[in-house]
Amino acid sequence: MRLSSQHTVGILLVALCLGLGALAASELRTAPFTAQDQGPSAAGKTPATSTPAAFALPSVQRFAIVTERPLFSPDRKPLQHADDTAGAWSSFALAGIIITSGSREALVLHGKPQSIAHIQEGQALEGWTVTSIYPDRVVFRDGLSEHELKLIPKAPLSTVATRPRLPAE
């Protein structure tokens, strides 16, 4: 009598389950001893109840490199954050740069409420002196501190939808 392929597969699955059950039973029988299994002399040396170590997150300082080099910034350079220690510097925003053959001028939004200032190299704005104006950034200096204010490029304009022309009548 010949067994069908379904019967053969069934027999193999039953044999596999029995084998895995036997393996699990042998592993349980050879479990490592604990202090309780070794008797009272060993129990005095180690605590009778062992609690698993509590999980603790690493400190934030371990992840400093991640915050110093932002993942989604194209140049991976640190972002400029406005903080209270920056004083007037924190209210600056570069609105535009005008460079001609005779001058270099930056348009800087500043103050509260914001107003725009047209400044050139060497001029001061709220205690900060403009040392350099480049096509994409302006460098400010206040004593020993130097800060760079970058011009944020705007996204290219999408194609403007125009009204279709009416056929000539």
Instruction: Render pLDDT for 67-78 as a digit per residue (tens, 0 to 9).
Output: 677 666 667 666
Cβ atoms < 10 Å from Cβ of 115: 9
Q: Which residue has the higher pLDDT, 117 or 63?
A: 117
Burial of 67 (0-12, 13-18, 19+ CB in 10 A): exposed
CB atoms within 10 A of CB 110: 19
Cα torsion through 110, 114, 116, 117, rounded to 10? -40
The predicted pLDDT at position 21 comes to 92
Write down the pLDDT at residue 39: 53
Task: Summarize pLDDT for 131-151 with one digit per residue, the tens.
Answer: 999 989 999 988 888 888 888
User: What does the block give as tokens for 157?
Assistant: 């304009």
Is pLDDT of 158 > 60?
no
* Domain ranges, ordered by start, for the chain: 82-150
* Residue-level pLDDT at 51: 75
- For the full predicted model, state whether its pTM sits above 0.85: no
When pLDDT is averaged across residues 5-28 and rounded to a whole number, the result is 90
Query: Does domain 82-150 sit in CATH 2.30.30.830?
Result: yes
